[in-house]
Amino acid sequence: MIGVLLGIAIVEILVVHLVVVAWLGWWAALIVGVLDASLVIALIGLLRSFRRLPVTLVDGLLTMRAGSLRSVAIPVAQIAGLRASWDAAAIKQRGVLNLALASWPSVLVDLDPPIELRRGRRLHAVAHKLDDPVAFHAAIAALSPRDGY
């Protein structure tokens, strides 16, 4: 979805640039072009960060990331389970962190006890869109009871 947004941003740059040149002149088009180029560079950086910063399960710590935008570290002892199904109301609850960004989540991890974030926010679940949710479910299921699951 972020790739689609990048494509739309590039088309928008071309159209807006032509309109601004015709309407306000070259100097205004140059300023708008620099702003648009910075947006495209930021989106390319975000796309690359998804591959560079994956979801990991290492040394008893599940780190769920949405590239360089957001990250949450969950000790495996706090994983209460994985939900089999959920609806939009469950994803929109205040205590649910949705890392799926612009798509529907493929996994939902319940936490017990909730994780305390900055500013007093408590997370009781984390939703994410993963490329291979079956492998993720298998990795979580493979955790032994002594790991807290």
At residue 143's C-alpha, the angle toward residues 142 and 148, to 5°, is 155
Q: What is the mean pLDDT of residues 76-88?
A: 89
**What is the residue whose two structure tokens read 């740059």?**
13
Q: Can you give the pLDDT at residue 146?
A: 46
Q: What is the mean pLDDT of residues 117-133?
A: 88
In whole angstroms, give the CA distance from residue 106 to residue 37. 32
Give the global pTM: 0.74
Verify that 88 and 131 share a domain, yes or no. yes
Residue predicted with more confidence, 148 or 40: 40
Coarse DSSP helix, strand, coil percentages of the chain, rounded to the nearest 5 percent: 50, 25, 25
Verify that 72 and 131 share a domain, yes or no. yes
Verify that 60 and 123 share a domain, yes or no. yes
Verify that 46 and 64 share a domain, yes or no. no
For residue 30, pLDDT over 80 is answered with: yes
Q: Can you give the pLDDT at residue 147?
A: 46
Verify that 97 and 135 share a domain, yes or no. yes
- Tell me the residue type at 136: F
Verify that 118 and 142 share a domain, yes or no. yes
Verify that 30 and 81 share a domain, yes or no. no
Q: What is the mean pLDDT of residues 66-77?
A: 90
Verify that 95 and 126 share a domain, yes or no. yes
User: In the chain, how many domains are there?
Assistant: 2
Q: What is the mean pLDDT of residues 4-30?
A: 84
Verify that 98 and 29 share a domain, yes or no. no
State how beta strands 79-82 and 70-75 pair. unpaired
Tokens representing 68 are 């360089």
Task: Return phi, psi of residue 97, to 5°.
Answer: -95, 120
How deeply is 119 buried, as exposed, middle or buried, from its count of CB atoms within 10 A (0-12, 13-18, 19+)? exposed
Structural domain span for residue 22: 2-52
Verify that 33 and 92 share a domain, yes or no. no
CB 119 within 8 A of CB 94: no
Q: Can you give the pLDDT at residue 148?
A: 45
